[in-house]
C-alpha cells in the first residue's frame, strides 16, 4: 500500500531524512516512532504530498506521490500534528468544505459527515464554531476530516497529543477500529500507545530507520540482550563471584537487603542463565525466592536504539 | 473549476465572519461618503461622480483592499491550515484563484454600497447609465488588480502587516507615483510611466471611455500577479 524507496529530504544543509526505505502492506496499523527532529514529520509530509522529496520515491496505492499528487491526496486522510482548522467556521461547514474539495457529491457528503461525526463523537458539537471548541474537540474534528471520505490510507501525526485520559482511550479505540478498514500510519511519541494499537513499528532516528518489526518482536530482540534479576539468601561475595563464573554472564551487580542478596545479571546476547543460577543455588544450599528476566518494554528498546544512532551520528 | 468555486465560497464566507472586514468596510464607506459629501454634494458642484472616482476612490482602495486581502494566504501560513489545504486534492492554481474570486466577491459587495451615491444624484437629475456602467467596469478592473497584487504579497509572507506594507507601497507607486512622475518627464520615460500607471489607464473609465487597451492592461496585469502568486505558492511548498 505504501512503498518508500531510498527517500532523502534535505532542508538546505540539514539532512532530515537519510535514504530510508520501507514497505507497508494493506491493512493494519503501523507505528512510526522517533525522537523529536528524527525526520518523522518530514517523511509524513512527503507521503502526504505536502513537501517534495530531495531524492527517492514514494508510492501510495501504486501511485507516485510526485507525479500523481492530486490522485494520491484523494486516497489519503491526514491529521497533522497541530490540527490546523479554520476557527470562524462551524464544524459542519468545515466538513462540508473539505468534502467538496475531495469531490464528494451532496448526498455522499451528507452521509460521510454523519458517519464521521458519529465515529468521532461530534454529534452535539456539529453546529458549533470551531474557534469555541477545546483542543480535544478540535482534534476530533481533524480526525473526522481525515476519515470522512473513507481513504485507503490514513496518516495520523500525534493524534492523542493534548487530549485528556478519557479522550486518549476513546481515540485509541477509534484508531484500532479504523485499522480494520484502512491502512493506518500512526506517528506518536507515546510508546505505550504504539505498543497497544500497532501491528508493526518503524523506529526512525537522525533521519534513518533504526529498527522495524512488531512491538513484540522488538521487545523480544531487546529482551534477548537483557538482564536476569535474582534474589538469594547467601554470602554476598560468594553469590556474586559464583554467578559471575557462569558461562554467558558478562556482568553482575549485587546488593544486600535484610539478609537477601539481589543480583542483576547481564548476559551475552541469546544467553539465558536462569536455569544455571537455580542449579547453583541448589548446589550451594542458598534459598532462592525470585528469579526473572528483566521485562523489556518498547520504551527500553526505543531509548536504546535511538541513543545508539545518536552516538553513531556524533 | 469546482474547487475554485468551493475555495471562493469559503473565502467569501470568511470575509463576512471577519471583524476586520467589517471594520475596513466601515472605513471605506465613511471615507468614500466623506469624499462624496465634500467633493460632489456641495453647492455649485457638477452632479457627477467623476471627482470622487478619479482620485478618492483610488486612494481609498489602495489602503482598503490590501487590508482586506492581507490575510488571504498569510493567515493560512501562520495558522498552519496551508498543510491541511495542500494535502487535499487541490492544486496551487485552484487555491490562488479561489482566494482571488472570494475576495473579488466581497469587493463587489463594497461596490454595491457605492451605488448609493448615483441614487442620491438621481434625485437631482437624470443619471447616465452607460457612464455609470463604464465607471463600474473601471472599478471592477482596478479592484481586481489591487486584489491580485495584495494576494501576491500575502502569499509572500506569513506576516500580515508585512504583506499590507508591501501591497500599499507597490500599489501607491503604480497608481500615483508613476502618474505624477509621468507628467514631469518627456519622451520615452513618460510613455513607459504612463503605460504602467494604473491611474492613467483608469482615468478613461471615469471619463466614460471604454478603451480595450485599458481593459487589456488591467486583465493582463491582474493575470500576471495571479500567475506569480501560483508560482510563489509552489516555490514555498518546495522549499
pLDDT in tens, B151-201: 999 999 989 999 999 999 999 988 888 777 877 777 788 888 888 888 888
CA count, 13 A, side-chain hemisphere, A251: 6
Classify residue A294 by its DSSP letter.
-
Phi and psi at A267, nearest 5°, equal: -125, 165
pLDDT higher than 80, residue A61: yes
| A50 inside 8 A of chain B by CB | yes
Integer distance in angstroms from the first to the last C-alpha of chain B?
Answer: 27
Residue showing cell 468534502: A99
- Report pLDDT for A254: 86
**Domain shared by A22 and A113, yes or no:** yes
A102/B88 touch (CB, cutoff 8 Å), yes or no: yes
Question: Do residues A22 and A114 both lie within one domain?
Answer: yes
**Residue A127 three-state SS:** coil
Residue A302 has pLDDT above 80, yes or no: no
End-to-end CA distance of chain A: 35
Query: Are A141 and A187 in a shared domain?
Result: yes
- Per the structure, the count of domains in chain B is 1
Could you tell me if A73 lies within 8 Å of chain B, comparing CB atoms?
yes
Domain range for B209 is 2-238
Q: What does the pLDDT read at residue A101?
A: 93
Is A314 inside a domain boundary? no
**Same domain for A88 and A9:** yes
CA B117 to chain centre: 20
Range of the domain at A126: 2-214
Domain count, chain A: 2
Provide the H-helix boundaries in chain B.
Answer: 2-16, 19-35, 50-51, 58-69, 71-79, 81-86, 92-114, 116-122, 129-156, 160-172, 178-184, 187-196, 198-207, 212-238
Residue A50 has its nearest CB partner, among B2, B79, B237, at B237
Tell whether A76 is covered by a domain. yes
Residue B225, C-alpha cell as written in the block: 500577479
Q: Residues A73, A77, A78, CA angle at the centre, nearest 5°?
A: 95
Nearest by CB to B89, which of A70, A84, A89? A70
C-alpha of B130 from chain center: 22
CB A298 within 8 A of CB A219: yes
- Residue A62 maps to a domain: yes
Provide the pLDDT for residue A227: 79
Which chain B residues are closer than 8 Å to A71 by Cβ?
89
Q: Which residues of A touch B236 (CB under 8 A)?
A: none
Same domain, A194 and A234: no
* B171: closest CA of chain A, how far (Å): 29
In A, minimum Cα distance to B83 occurs at: A50
CB A203 within 8 A of CB A302: yes
Q: Residue B187: its pLDDT value, please?
A: 79
- Shortest distance between the Cα of B22 and any Cα of chain A, in A, equals 14
Q: Provide the H-helix boundaries in chain A.
A: 40-47, 69-75, 91-101, 106-119, 135-147, 165-178, 191-197, 215-224, 236-244, 274-284, 298-313
ipTM of the complex: 0.85
A154 and A16 together in one domain: yes
User: Which CATH number does the domain housing residue A21 bear?
Assistant: 3.40.50.300
Residues of B with a Cβ under 8 Å from any A Cβ are 2-3, 6-7, 10, 13-14, 17-18, 79-84, 86-91, 237-239
Mean pLDDT of A37-48: 89
Task: Look at residues A211, A250, A271 and name the one whose alpha carbon lies nearest to residue A31.
Answer: A211
pLDDT tens, A146-186?
Answer: 999 989 999 998 888 777 888 888 888 888 888 888 899 99
- Averaged pLDDT of chain A: 86
CA-based nearest residue in chain A for residue B14: A88
Helix B92-114 to helix B212-238 angle (10° resolution) is: 140
Asked if A51 lies within 8 A of B238 by C-beta distance, the reply is yes
Residues in chain B, how many?
Answer: 239
pLDDT band at A314; cut points 50, 70, 90: low
Q: Is the pLDDT reported for residue A304 higher than 80?
A: no
Segment A29-36 shows an average pLDDT of 87
Residue A220 included in any domain:
no
- Tell me the C-alpha distance between B140 and B104, whole Å: 8
The candidate with the shortest Cα–Cα distance to A26, out of A154, A203, A196, A202, is A154
A100 and A45 in a single domain? The answer is yes
Q: Note whether A253 and A167 are same-domain residues.
A: no
Does pLDDT of A224 surpass 60?
A: no
In the block, cell 457529491 appears at A105
As to burial, measured by CB atoms within 10 angstroms (0-12 exposed, 13-18 middle, 19+ buried), residue A158 is: buried
Cβ neighbours of residue B128 closer than 8 Å, sequence gap 6 or more: B208
Nine cell digits for residue B1: 473549476
Environment class of A295 (CB within 10 Å of its CB; exposed 0-12, middle 13-18, buried 19+): exposed
H/E element holding A307? helix A298-313
pLDDT tens profile B57-98 = 889 999 999 999 999 999 999 999 999 999 999 999 999 999
CATH number, position A277: 3.30.70.1340
φ and ψ at residue A37, rounded to 5 degrees: 75, 15
β-partners of residue A86 are none
Secondary-structure breakdown of chain A: helix, strand, coil percentages, each rounded to the nearest 5: 40, 30, 30
Contact A78 B87 (CB under 8 A): yes
Residues A11 and A151 in one domain: yes
Quick check: A52 and B90 CB within 8 A? no
Separation between Cα atoms, residue A255 and residue A135, nearest integer Å: 48
Of A91-95, A228-232, A304-308, the range with the lowest mean pLDDT is A304-308
Domain boundary among A183, A214, A245: A214
Average pLDDT over residues A263-288: 85
How far, CA to CA in Å, does B182 sit from each of A56, A90, B138, B177?
Answer: 54, 51, 21, 8
The answer to whether position A77 is within a domain reads: yes
Residue A81 DSSP SS3: coil
Contact B81 A73 (CB under 8 A): no
Quick: pLDDT tens for B8-47.
999 999 988 888 888 988 999 999 888 888 877 777 777 7
- Quote the longest CA-to-CA distance of chain A: 81
Instruction: Indicate whether A88 and A193 sit together in one domain.
Output: yes
Amino acid at each position: 500500500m505504501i512503498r518508500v524507496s531510498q527517500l532523502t529530504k534535505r532542508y538546505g544543509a540539514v539532512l532530515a531524512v537519510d535514504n530510508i526505505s520501507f514497505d507497508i502492506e494493506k491493512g493494519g496499523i503501523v507505528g512510526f516512532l522517533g525522537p523529536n527532529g528524527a525526520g518523522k514529520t518530514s517523511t509524513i509530509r512527503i507521503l502526504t504530498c505536502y513537501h517534495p522529496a530531495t531524492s527517492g520515491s514514494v508510492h501510495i496505492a501504486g501511485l507516485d506521490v510526485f507525479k500523481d499528487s492530486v490522485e494520491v491526496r484523494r486516497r489519503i486522510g491526514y491529521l497533522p500534528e497541530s490540527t490546523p482548522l479554520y476557527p470562524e467556521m462551524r464544524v459542519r461547514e468545515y466538513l462540508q468544505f473539505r468534502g467538496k474539495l475531495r469531490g464528494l457529491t451532496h448526498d455522499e457528503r451528507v452521509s460521510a459527515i454523519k458517519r464521521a461525526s458519529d465515529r468521532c463523537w461530534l454529534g452535539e458539537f456539529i453546529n458549533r464554531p470551531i474557534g469555541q471548541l477545546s483542543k480535544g474537540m478540535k482534534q476530533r474534528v481533524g480526525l473526522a476530516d481525515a476519515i470522512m471520505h473513507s481513504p485507503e490510507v490514513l496518516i495520523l501525526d500525534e493524534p492523542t497529543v493534548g487530549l485528556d485520559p478519557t479522550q486518549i482511550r476513546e481515540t485509541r479505540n477509534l484508531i484500532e477500529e479504523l485499522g480494520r478498514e484502512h491502512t493506518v500510519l500512526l506517528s506518536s511519541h507515546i510508546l505505550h500507545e504504539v505498543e497497544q494499537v500497532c501491528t508493526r513499528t518503524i523506529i526512525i532516528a537522525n533521519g534513518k530507520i533504526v529498527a522495524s518489526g512488531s512491538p513484540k518482536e522488538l521487545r523480544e530482540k531487546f529482551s534477548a540482550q537483557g538482564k536476569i534479576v535474582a534474589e538469594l539468601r547467601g554470602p554476598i561475595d560468594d553469590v556474586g563471584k559464583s554467578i559471575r563464573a557462569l558461562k554467558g554472564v558478562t556482568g553482575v551487580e549485587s546488593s544486600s537487603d535484610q539478609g537477601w542478596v539481589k543480583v542483576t545479571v547481564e548476559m551475552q546476547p541469546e544467553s539465558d542463565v536462569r536455569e544455571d543460577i537455580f542449579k547453583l543455588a541448589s548446589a550451594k544450599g542458598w534459598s532462592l525466592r525470585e528469579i526473572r528476566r528483566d521485562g523489556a518494554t518498547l520504551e527500553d528498546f526505543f531509548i536504546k536504539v535511538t541513543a545508539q544512532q545518536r552516538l553513531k551520528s556524533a | 473549476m469546482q474547487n475554485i468555486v468551493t475555495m471562493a465560497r469559503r473565502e467569501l464566507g470568511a470575509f463576512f465572519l471577519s471583524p476586520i472586514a467589517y471594520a475596513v468596510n466601515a472605513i471605506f464607506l465613511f471615507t468614500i461618503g466623506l469624499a462624496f459629501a465634500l467633493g460632489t454634494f456641495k453647492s455649485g458642484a457638477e452632479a457627477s461622480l467623476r471627482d470622487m472616482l478619479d482620485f478618492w476612490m483610488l486612494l481609498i482602495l489602495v489602503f482598503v483592499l490590501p487590508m482586506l486581502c492581507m490575510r488571504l494566504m498569510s493567515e493560512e501560513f501562520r495558522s498552519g491550515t496551508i498543510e491541511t489545504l495542500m494535502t487535499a486534492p487541490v492544486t496551487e492554481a485552484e487555491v490562488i484563484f479561489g482566494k482571488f474570486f472570494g475576495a473579488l466577491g466581497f469587493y463587489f459587495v463594497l461596490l454595491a454600497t457605492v451605488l448609493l451615491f448615483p441614487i442620491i444624484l438621481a434625485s437631482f437629475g437624470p443619471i447616465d447609465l452607460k457612464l455609470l456602467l463604464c465607471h463600474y467596469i473601471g472599478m471592477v478592473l482596478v479592484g481586481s488588480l489591487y486584489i491580485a497584487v495584495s494576494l501576491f504579497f500575502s502569499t509572500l509572507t506569513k506576516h500580515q502587516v508585512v504583506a499590507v506594507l508591501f501591497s500599499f507601497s507597490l500599489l501607491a507607486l503604480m497608481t500615483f507615483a508613476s502618474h505624477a512622475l509621468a507628467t514631469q518627464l518627456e519622451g520615452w520615460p513618460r510613455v513607459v510611466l504612463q503605460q504602467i500607471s494604473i491611474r492613467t489607464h483608469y482615468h478613461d473609465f471615469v471619463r466614460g471611455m471604454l478603451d480595450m487597451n485599458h481593459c487589456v492592461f488591467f486583465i493582463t496585469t491582474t493575470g500576471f500577479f495571479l500567475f506569480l502568486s501560483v508560482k510563489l505558492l509552489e516555490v514555498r511548498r518546495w522549499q
